[in-house]
Amino acid sequence: MSEKQPRQPSRERQLLPLVGDDRQELRADCGSCFGLCCVALTFAKSSDFPVDKAAGTPCANLRQDFSCGIHQDLRQKGFSGCTVYDCFGAGQKVSQSTYGGTDWRRDPDSARQMFDVFPVMRQLHELLWYLTEAIALPEARPIGAELRRALDRTEGLTRGTPAEVAGTDVAAHREDVSVLLLRTSELARADIRRKKKDRRGADLFGARLKGADLRGVTLRGAYLIAADLRGADLRRADLIGADFRDADLRGADLTGSIFLTQSQVNAAKGDAATKLPQALARPAHWS
């Protein structure tokens, strides 16, 4: 989690290609970060982590240069939680912009505040990821100006002083943005939604959905843990906040799906036949 990952070339075209979807600054550049996710966040001993770690305490595997000492063996050593985490570029933003390249080891007095700023910045960058995708969707043009204002407002919040960022009311801002993202979803799915059931927040733990036609279905916040989605058609499905931990996506088609993130993909199982949106990379642990 603390070493920069090589970008993988895109392999699939989306159902409706995004226009001007440039989210490079919202991709983690661990080489430009002070290992913030390895220090600021809490680890709870579980199937994702072999040990407990308190917030503000460096992971035992964090090196002096902020790289990970077991990066190549994270899954084998029980740190699968690290392999699915994505900061959306918040780590390098806090390290290089908010704190001007001065790390928490050189300036211990800034450490506590930096660790408070990081999770706030991560949430703001996640919203930037969604808003950038929304703006690029051709179907969202009717609300393009509103989306652009929301993006500019969110970006402005990320440029604040450490105290300003830490004091951001993220919950209130996220609520405002969520209204726009929901409208975006409705516009993007309008032509293929038909009379399909709304599965928002549905408990689909271990659900048998092999080969299911889920085009245009909203699966916002749905629990798809360990669900069988082999060969399922998820084109233009709204996947924001869906829990894909251990979901079987082998052979599934997610091209053109809406608001899917790398961390969701990383948490699932897939193979060479799984079709992903252009903006996302095929995880190294997939078969």
* Architecture in CATH of 197-287: 3 Solenoid (2.160)
Q: Following DSSP, what letter does each residue of 265-279 receive, concatenated?
A: HHHSB--TT-B--TT
Buried b (16+ CB within 10 A) or exposed e, 246-280: ebbbbbbbbbbbbbbbbbbbbbbbbeeebbbbbbb
For residue 145 the two structure tokens come to 């100006």
For residue 148 the two structure tokens come to 């652009």
Look at residues 193, 188, 209, 207 and name the one whose alpha carbon lies nearest to residue 260: 188
3-state secondary structure of 232: coil
Q: Residue 23: its pLDDT value, please?
A: 83
Q: How far apart, in whole angstroms, are the C-alpha atoms of residue 130 and residue 181?
A: 8
Q: Full-prediction pTM beyond 0.85?
A: yes
Q: Residue 21: its pLDDT value, please?
A: 57
Q: Following DSSP, what letter does each residue of 8-34 receive, concatenated?
A: PPP----SS--SS---GGGS--GGGS-
Domain ranges of the chain: 24-189, 197-287
Q: Write down the residue that tokens 């939680």 correspond to.
A: 81
Q: How many helices (H) and strands (E) does the chain have?
A: 7, 0
Look at residues 146, 170, 145 and name the one whose alpha carbon lies nearest to residue 160: 170
3-state secondary structure of 79: coil
Walk along the chain (287 residues) and give the pLDDT tens digit of each residue.
Answer: 433 333 333 323 233 334 445 688 999 999 999 999 999 999 999 999 999 999 999 999 999 999 999 999 999 999 999 999 999 999 999 999 999 999 999 999 999 999 999 999 999 999 999 999 999 999 999 999 999 999 999 999 999 999 999 999 999 999 999 999 999 999 999 988 666 778 999 999 999 999 999 999 999 999 999 999 999 999 999 999 999 999 999 999 999 999 999 999 999 999 999 999 999 999 988 97
CA distance readout (Å), 195 to 81, 198, 217, 252:
37, 9, 9, 22
